[in-house]
Amino acid sequence: MTVPLLSTDRLVKRYGGLLATDNVSIDVASGEIHALIGPNGAGKTTLVGQLTGNVAPDSGTIRFAGQDITRLPTHRRVHLGLARSFQITSVLGEFTALENVALAVQAHAGHSFRFLRDVRGDESLRGPARHCLEEVGLDARAGMPASALSHGEQRQLEIAMALAGDPSLLLLDEPMAGMGVEESQRMIAFLRALKGRRAMLLIEHDMDAVFQLADRITVLVYGRAIASGTPAEIRADEAVRRAYLGDDGMVA
């Protein structure tokens, strides 16, 4: 049996009387897209915080790339190959797309930030940055200020910045947030093109995107994983339909 790239075993996090994660066990295989869904307040943000090292679990373990990372700080997890994109876009609007990614390359290389003129002239940073932009389909936008990019392109740029560290797993926190139908479909096509090259844990409310992209889906409700399986299995799960999905298999 193949060892998962990422796995959690009975993660628990309490905030006073609130059980934010209730013995959550999930796993993500190399190259797959595993979606994490659930209503607001289900514990998704707390679980992601535990995976990234921003939230310490009260009990349970997290393993990544063959190591126990439960108590490792965030930067150590990043160096092992775990990267996160955030729900709210966090690019530097006054810098070009290439400069944004070059700065991310510099940060992942372990260097302190130098003056921007060094980034602009340092081909050891710009070369890998161009490759990341190509991977997300933004190579033609390299010289544009990030503020001039569309919302969807800014989300792609943020993912390019996450790719600067050559991660094996991307934690994608609502990449379709704030997008219209056309931009969402472009993002879905982009993420599908990455599939197989990077494992992804996708946190998303857009059920159309989830069912188009995911190999497996885990459903969180009140901090507990009530189901995990293929999209077809999740659609057919009566407990999931009662708790989260409508009669047509979409969000109620």
Task: Give the per-residue pLDDT at 118.
Answer: 62
Name the more confident of 59 and 121. Answer: 59
Task: Specify the DSSP element, H or E, that contains 82.
Answer: strand 82-85
Report the b/e string of 41-68 with b at 16+ CB within 10 A.
ebbbbbbbbbbbbebebeebebbbbeee
* Pairing mode, strands 27-28 and 18-24: unpaired
Q: Which of 68, 64, 65, 70 has its CA nearest to residue 13?
A: 70
Confidence of residue 252 (pLDDT cuts 50, 70, 90): very low
Identity of the residue numbered 94: E
Partner residues linked to 28 by β-bridges: 6
The predicted-structure confidence for 69-119, as pLDDT tens digits, reads as follows: 999 999 899 889 999 876 556 788 889 999 999 988 888 776 555 545 465
Residue 189's CB is within 10 A of a number of other CB atoms, namely: 12
Domain ranges of the chain: 1-81+167-252, 90-166
26 in helix, strand or coil? Answer: coil
Task: Give the per-residue pLDDT at 114.
Answer: 54
Paired tokens of 239: 């407990």
Name the more confident of 244 and 33. Answer: 33
The predicted-structure confidence for 213-250, as pLDDT tens digits, reads as follows: 999 999 999 999 999 999 999 999 988 888 776 544 44
Confidence of residue 251 (pLDDT cuts 50, 70, 90): very low
* Pairing mode, strands 82-85 and 27-28: unpaired
Q: What angle do CA 128, 50, 230 make, to 5 degrees?
A: 80
Name the more confident of 11 and 239. Answer: 11
0.75 surpassed by pTM: yes
Chain mean pLDDT for the chain: 87
Which CATH number fits the domain 1-81+167-252, given the four candidates 3.40.190.10, 1.10.3720.10, 3.40.50.170, 3.40.50.300? 3.40.50.300
Paired tokens of 44: 């998704």
Across the range 32-61, mean pLDDT stands at 93
Q: Phi and psi at residue 161, in whole multiples of 5°?
A: -65, -35
Helix ranges (DSSP H) in the chain: 44-52, 74-80, 97-108, 116-121, 123-135, 151-163, 181-194, 207-213, 231-236, 238-243
